[in-house]
Amino acid sequence: MRIGIDGRKIPESKLRGPVGTLDHAKSLGMEGVFFRTILDVSPTLDRAVIREVRERADELGLYLEAGLSKVNPYALPETPEVRQIGDGDTLLGFRRMMEACAEFDIRELWISTAGIKQQYRGRFTTDRFRTDVSWEDQLEATRRFLMKLRPIALDLGIHLNLETHEEITTFEILRLIEAVGDDVVGIVFDTGNIFIRGEHPVYAAKRIAPYVRQTHFKDAYVELIDDGAYYQSRSCGSGLVDFSTVLRELNKYRPDLNVTIECDTPRLGAVKGEPHFLELYNPEWIAGHPDLSREEFSAYFELARDFTERIRKGTVKSWQQLHAESFEYPEAIQCIESSRQHLEKICQELGITRGEKANA
């Protein structure tokens, strides 16, 4: 098991470029970089650029992961670069990205079903609660599109891994895997996003562990309030996630799994406005999660209630305190370092083999 960093969330990634990002990651003690999409490496799929990144990662002994795009046709207009890389043909755009990845032995590829809309409040921050098209129709459209990608993936020997993103539940991802085939579709386990869907991290880990092939590791802040809860991502070890249990579950099925840290990027000045608001008590929100059991939702609330008490007692920084603090390059690096140390300590305690030996 190796610990790396998300290529979009490491500070100065745009300034340094993909090769510079690899060097930066290595200097921070990272063991790999997960570029969210292969177009982050080269927007034109320039083979010389991708080859340079592949070779530099190998020279540094870093794992190299990447991804594609959204696979929900209703969300694809938000990523016009995918259609562009296919000269107007979306499916061809995916094929070309997949071929470029396979050519350089990048075979675990991130995909997602939508993107968060942070400018809105509550349930309308995600496509799950769109009123122009139902979530069920979006999932069915996603299934159909994945079936078009299936023969391409099989031919190239790659896996398409759905992220436990803000808008989709682990239950729904598992049904998509069953429908399309686990020989083609796996999971990118984001340990923070599941809280937005009311799922408990340990319950979720046990449910999806056999299918997890990539990760986005971050911690979570959930504060209960009168009409719901506030959610915010935090550095690993400073929130609600029991990473010890999560890692133990994942290691059962994939000892060579790469653990990718996803921290916040630097910002200038204080943050205005509230964090992500969860409408946990709204009847429409509740009805929109029919798979969530009473047992798991109760465990979720118990976890959040205990954490809320810690916030009230001042042992955990509130979101207001965090928003008022500086979070520039030094703080972002500290976030990465503290997350790495927390995860390394857990691996040591659990006896999880680290580094290259895990892949031998």
Contact at 8 Å (CB) between 159 and 110?
A: no
Tokens coding 75: 């969300």
Report yes or no on 96 lying in a domain.
yes
Helix residue ranges per DSSP H, the chain: 13-27, 38-41, 47-60, 80-85, 90-103, 135-156, 170-180, 201-208, 243-253, 283-287, 294-313, 319-324, 329-350
Report yes or no on 48 lying in a domain.
yes
Report yes or no on 295 lying in a domain.
no
Strand (E) or helix (H) holding 117:
none
Contact at 8 Å (CB) between 219 and 235?
A: yes
Count of positions (residues) in the chain: 360
According to the model, what pLDDT value does residue 73 have? 98
Q: Determine the Cα–Cα distance for residues 208 and 249; give it in Å rounded to an integer.
A: 9
According to the model, what pLDDT value does residue 356 have? 55
Q: What is the pTM (predicted TM-score) of this model?
A: 0.96
- Residue-level pLDDT, tens digit, the chain, 360 residues: 999 999 999 999 999 999 999 999 999 999 999 999 999 999 999 999 999 999 999 999 999 999 999 999 999 999 999 999 999 999 999 999 999 999 999 999 999 999 999 889 999 999 999 999 999 999 999 999 999 999 999 999 999 999 999 999 999 999 999 999 999 999 999 999 999 999 999 999 999 999 999 999 999 999 999 999 999 999 999 999 999 999 999 999 999 999 999 999 998 887 878 999 999 999 999 999 999 999 999 999 999 999 999 999 999 999 999 999 999 999 999 999 999 999 999 999 999 987 754 443
Report yes or no on 305 lying in a domain.
no
Tokens coding 68: 């594609």
Q: Determine the Cα–Cα distance for residues 26 and 16; give it in Å rounded to an integer.
A: 13
Report yes or no on 97 lying in a domain.
yes
Helix (H), strand (E) counts: the chain: 13, 11
Report yes or no on 331 lying in a domain.
yes
The dihedral built from the CA positions of residue 209, 352, 161 and 5, taken in this order, carries a sign that is positive
Range of the domain at 149: 2-220+237-270+327-359
| Contacting residues for 252 by C-beta, under 8 A, at least 6 apart | 209
Contact at 8 Å (CB) between 193 and 166?
A: yes
Q: Determine the Cα–Cα distance for residues 179 and 147; give it in Å rounded to an integer.
A: 9
According to the model, what pLDDT value does residue 167 have? 97
Average pLDDT, the chain: 96
Residue range 225-240, pLDDT digits in tens: 999 999 999 999 999 9
Burial class of residue 4, CB neighbours in 10 A (0-12, 13-18, 19+): buried
Contact at 8 Å (CB) between 49 and 26?
A: no
* Number of domains forming the structure of the chain: 1
Report yes or no on 310 lying in a domain.
no
Q: In angstroms, what CA-CA distances link 139 with 4, 134, 135?
A: 31, 9, 6
Name the one residue in this structure whose structure tokens are 């509230």. 274
Burial class of residue 113, CB neighbours in 10 A (0-12, 13-18, 19+): buried
The CATH number given to whatever domain includes residue 12 is 3.20.20.150
Render 295-339 in DSSP notation, one character per residue.
Answer: HHHHHHHHHHHHHHHHHHHTSS--HHHHHHS--SHHHHHHHHHHH
HSE-CB at 111 with a 13 A cutoff on CA atoms is 32
Contact at 8 Å (CB) between 192 and 204?
A: no
Report yes or no on 79 lying in a domain.
yes
According to the model, what pLDDT value does residue 358 have? 42
